[in-house]
Chains A and B, each alone.
Chain A
Amino acid sequence: AQRVTQPEKLLSVFKGAPVELKCNYSYSGSPELFWYVQYSRQRLQLLLRHISRESIKGFTADLNKGETSFHLKKPFAQEEDSAMYYCALKPFGNEKLTFGTGTRLTIIP
């Protein structure tokens, strides 16, 4: 069985400060990890996935298999980053996404 843990329900960060949203996972096989974001009154949308190794809107996330983590980071927070962030896992070759409980990020101006 797979499980995703996001230990922080709420996170407040000052504008311009670094952001780190934590995500740990549990899965015995080979996982694919994602970060989804939901801005106020908008739909869930993919922010980034570990296999693409991109930086989207200044965010990066590195899969650490040793620590089973996929933390989301941004060096300088912006006000428009305020949103709900969900970490999710999908086994390779399978389409079922397993989500964490989410972290509500608030950027303080």
Chain B
Amino acid sequence: EPEVTQTPSHQVTQMGQEVILRCVPISNHLYFYWYRQILGQKVEFLVSFYNNEISEKSEIFDDQFSVERPDGSNFTLKIRSTKLEDSAMYFCASSPGVGNEQFFGPGTRLTVL
């Protein structure tokens, strides 16, 4: 059964550094998402992406964040200058269409030191 994959599983970085989190959505899916979960808190929506552009973003998704689908298979989340409070589990998800189930990846744990 196809699954969403994410790399790396754990990323450690210094404050102020740029990080890129990678996701490979399920191949025939058209909608892509990033969520994050700070330890002990709820899963929070960051951004949705469709037809090569952002369709919705939350107030968390500020200018430090960007998303890209560089090659038709990968879907990346870039954080330009990481802050301590960016430490969290980042989940990628994809769905075949509006109103369909969102399938989640296993997550990338980002630790900012």
Contacts and interface: CB of A to CB of B under 8 A. Distances in A.
B56 A94 contact: yes
By size class, the interface of chain A is 20 to 34
Contacts of A56: none
Nearest to B37: A99
B44 interface: yes
Interface residues of B, number: 25
Interface string A53-86: 0000000000000000000000000000000001
Interface string B20-64: 000000000001010100000111110010000001101000000
Contacts, number: 48
A92 to B, nearest CB: 8
B44 A43 contact: no
B75 interface: no
Contacts of A99: 42-44
A95 B106 contact: no
A43 B107 contact: yes
B45 A96 contact: yes
A94 B55 CA distance: 10
Contacts of A88: 43
A98 B45 CA distance: 7
A45 B104 contact: yes
A94 B91 CA distance: 19
9 contacts: A43-B4, A43-B104, A44-B43, A86-B42, A86-B43, A93-B99, A95-B48, A95-B56, A96-B56
